[in-house]
Amino acid sequence: MFYDVVIPAAGQGKRMKAGKNKLFIELSGIPIIVYTLRVFEDDPNCRKIILSINPAEKDHFNQLMAAYGIKKVKELVKGGGERQQSVYNGLQHAGEEIVLVHDGARPFINQGQISDLCEAASLHGGAVIAVPVKDTIKRATDNKVLETVERSSLWAVQTPQAFRASILKRAHEQAEAEAFLGTDDASLLERIDEQVVIIEGNYDNIKITTQEDLYFADAILHKQKRK
Ligand SMILES: Nc1ccn([C@@H]2O[C@H](COP(=O)(O)OP(=O)(O)OP(=O)(O)O)[C@@H](O)[C@H]2O)c(=O)n1
Ligand SMILES: C[C@](O)(CO)[C@H](O)COP(=O)(O)O
């Protein structure tokens, strides 16, 4: 099933404390964003990549795409102050069928799962990749525990997230109109009662967020190279 993908890549990487967009940090000599883009460049079902970026970094992104032969980025879109706004801006350039949203900061998505995700989105409206939560989760205020949350129904949600484009566009419009800010795109469907289903993913699909994620990323990369 064909799809367009919106990749938000306009963050500042504050939690990484690298003093630059963390997507330019290299893993084994290759920038993180290149790993992410390659997954979609190599997927024959991906029609086009829409990349939301900070305009000040446009030349850097263009240089990387030229150097690594990335040809499917058909739109370089101005990102927003929040991830949700970067996705919203990208969505304006997406087609009318299936659209995926995938963090630039998740370079280890397994291509095999993307088609399952698209099928599910076509059937249900929205679908997310997620893994069962492994830790015991407690709710607390001011470090005082209020309760232990029942774990069997908890999922840690990742990207990609796939949607019927018309539903995602409507969900974003409504969130924008009501000044609602979510941490992922599926939450915008949930609040307008559109269905979102889970496709079980794997724990390697980490989002590179803080310094320690870089050595987890190196380990995952080495594991993948051994295959
Ligand atoms: N205004 C923003 C914020 C984030 N992102 C993108 O959304 C993805 C997930 O966001 P996150 O991991 O939070 O990245 P940063 O915002 O860069 O990190 P931080 O929150 O630590 O500053 C990243 O690919 C990031 O580039 C974006 O396009 N626009
Ligand atoms: C969309 C996301 O990757 C799902 O896990 C995540 O919510 C991005 O935002 P965060 O603020 O870094 O959690």
Q: Is 52 in the pocket of ligand 1 (CB under 6 A)?
A: yes
158: left (phi over 0), alpha (psi -120 to 50) or beta: beta
Q: If you measure from the C-alpha of residue 183 to the centroid of ligand 2, how many angstroms do you get, rounded to a whole number?
A: 5
Instruction: Report the distance separating Cα 48 and Cα 6, nearest Å.
Output: 9
Ligand closest to CA 8: 1
Full residue range of the structural domain in which residue 150 is found: 3-226
Burial (Cβ within 10 Å: 0-12, 13-18, ≥19) of residue 124: middle
CB 189 within 8 A of CB 157: no
Q: Is 78 in the pocket of ligand 1 (CB under 6 A)?
A: no
Return the pLDDT at 226. Answer: 82
Over the chain (227 residues), what is each successive 10-residue block's mean pLDDT?
98 95 97 98 97 98 98 96 98 96 96 94 98 98 98 98 98 98 98 97 97 97 88
- For the chain, the 3-state helix, strand and coil shares in percent, each to the nearest 5, are 40, 25, 35
CB 138 within 8 A of CB 149: yes
Return the pLDDT at 174. Answer: 98
Q: If you measure from the C-alpha of residue 65 to the centroid of ligand 2, how many angstroms do you get, rounded to a whole number?
A: 25
Does the interface ipTM go beyond 0.90? yes
Return the pLDDT at 110. Answer: 86
Number of domains in the chain: 1
| Residue of 52, 85, 207, 208 to test ligand 2 pocket, by largest number of atoms within 8 Å of CB | 207
Q: Is 103 in the pocket of ligand 2 (CB under 6 A)?
A: yes
Q: If you measure from the C-alpha of residue 189 to the centroid of ligand 2, how many angstroms do you get, rounded to a whole number?
A: 16
Cα atoms found within 13 Å of the Cα of residue 195, Cβ hemisphere only: 8
CATH number for 187: 3.90.550.10
